């Protein structure tokens, strides 16, 4: 190779490699869930792809891309697919709010998802509903119902949960839970359904995106973790509680994620 070609190749790498260097993805479903993080971005840049605004920049000196996925499993899976096809990612953190199912998981509390489960995929017959394991793209079922989060990201979330600044609800310091989080395309506002999700799936909180994101991450081998703070308890008052507590709950989860990226190697 002559010198001119070599210099052109080096120039090309210098120009384009930084744009494609690895980032941590941070995703929420709603504006309230990502706003604190977007505002904390250093040197922010917005790129619109496929109807999604991707905010890139540095968060606590860590390269990140932040996006709002939209509400529900379909939006979440679409957004994860567009994200992963356009950015070079080292992992994905989902941050947001959920309905607490554990009797002591009250508004403002944190649930770190060690595994995700989709609870509206299965067989509906005269006997009722039987959940099915996820199937891969060829149609083969996975052997496990659960989608496991990345163990390093779980550990980091736990560490960060002890350091994060929280907004207190009724003067109560948030409790930190770790365990299964369930996902369906349903806003759960029924104590009987909430009990079923808790006893049948052992899930501590329920929401509308996590398992869809987790499924795409598993297909692509991308490490992920889902962090949620309770906005309500998936009971009759869920709508009222959601409107009252979505702000502080979304902030608690986002502040935990801020601490998390601070603890990550740059
Ligand atoms: N009133 C809002 C409702 C959004 S749906 C609106 O009309 O825009 C609720 C969002 O918060 C979803 O993104 C879901 O992941 C989460 N969530 C909070 N509480 C929930 C519950 N009880 N059941 C299911 N999802 C819940």
Question: Residue 266 has what pLDDT?
Answer: 78
Q: Is 206 in the pocket of ligand 1 (CB under 6 A)?
A: yes
Helix (H, G, I), strand (E, B) or coil at 138: coil
pLDDT tens-place string over residues 26-73: 999 999 999 999 999 999 999 999 999 999 999 999 999 999 999 999
6 — pLDDT class (breaks 50, 70, 90): confident
Question: Residue 3 has what pLDDT?
Answer: 74
How many whole angstroms separate alpha carbon 62 and alpha carbon 262? 7
Q: Is 72 in the pocket of ligand 1 (CB under 6 A)?
A: no
* Two structure tokens written together for 173: 């310091």
19 — pLDDT class (breaks 50, 70, 90): low
Q: What is the β-pairing status of strands 23-28 and 62-68?
A: parallel
Catalytic residue among 2, 33, 150, 237: 33
Residue 18 has pLDDT above 80, yes or no: no
Q: Known catalytic residue: 232?
A: yes
Give burial (CB, 10 Å; 0-12/13-18/19+) of 164.
buried
Nearest protein Cα to ligand 1, atom 4: 71
Q: Is 209 in the pocket of ligand 1 (CB under 6 A)?
A: yes
Question: Residue 21 has what pLDDT?
Answer: 78
Q: Is 213 in the pocket of ligand 1 (CB under 6 A)?
A: no
Among 19-28, 95-104, 148-157, 219-228, the range scoring the smallest mean pLDDT is 19-28
Nearest protein Cα to ligand 1, atom 17: 98
What DSSP string describes 32-58?
HHHHHHHHT-EEEEEEEETTEEEEEEE
What number is the average pLDDT over the span 221-231? 98
What number is the average pLDDT over the span 114-125? 97
Nearest protein Cα to ligand 1, atom 6: 71
Residue 13 has pLDDT above 70, yes or no: no
pLDDT tens-place string over residues 195-211: 999 999 999 999 999 99
């Amino acid at each position: 190779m002559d010198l001119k070609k070599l210099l052109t190749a080096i120039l090309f790498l210098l120009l384009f490699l930084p744009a494609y260097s690895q980032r941590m993805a941070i995703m929420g479903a709603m504006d309230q869930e990502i706003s604190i993080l977007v505002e904390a971005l250093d040197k922010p840049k917005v790129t619109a792809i496929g109807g999604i605004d991707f905010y890139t920049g540095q968060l606590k000196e860590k390269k990140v891309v932040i996006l709002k996925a939209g509400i529900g499993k379909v939006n979440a899976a679409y957004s994860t697919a567009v994200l992963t096809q356009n950015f070079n990612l080292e992992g994905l953190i989902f941050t947001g709010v959920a309905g607490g199912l554990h009797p002591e998981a009250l508004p403002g509390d944190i649930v770190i998802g060690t595994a995700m489960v989709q609870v509206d995929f299965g067989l509906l017959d005269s006997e009722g509903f039987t959940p099915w394991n996820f199937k891969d793209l060829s149609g083969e079922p996975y052997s496990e119902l659960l989608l496991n989060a990345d163990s390093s990201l779980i550990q980091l979330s736990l560490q960060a949960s002890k350091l994060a600044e929280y907004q207190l609800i009724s003067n109560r310091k948030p409790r930190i839970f770790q365990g299964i989080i369930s996902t369906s395309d349903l806003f759960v506002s029924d104590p009987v359904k909430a009990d079923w999700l808790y006893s049948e799936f052992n899930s501590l909180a329920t929401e509308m995106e996590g398992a869809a994101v987790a499924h795409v991450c598993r297909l692509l081998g991308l490490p992920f973790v889902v962090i949620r703070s309770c906005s309500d308890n998936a009971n009759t008052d869920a709508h009222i509680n959601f409107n009252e507590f979505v702000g502080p709950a979304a902030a608690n989860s986002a502040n935990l994620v801020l601490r998390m990226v601070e603890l990550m190697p740059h």
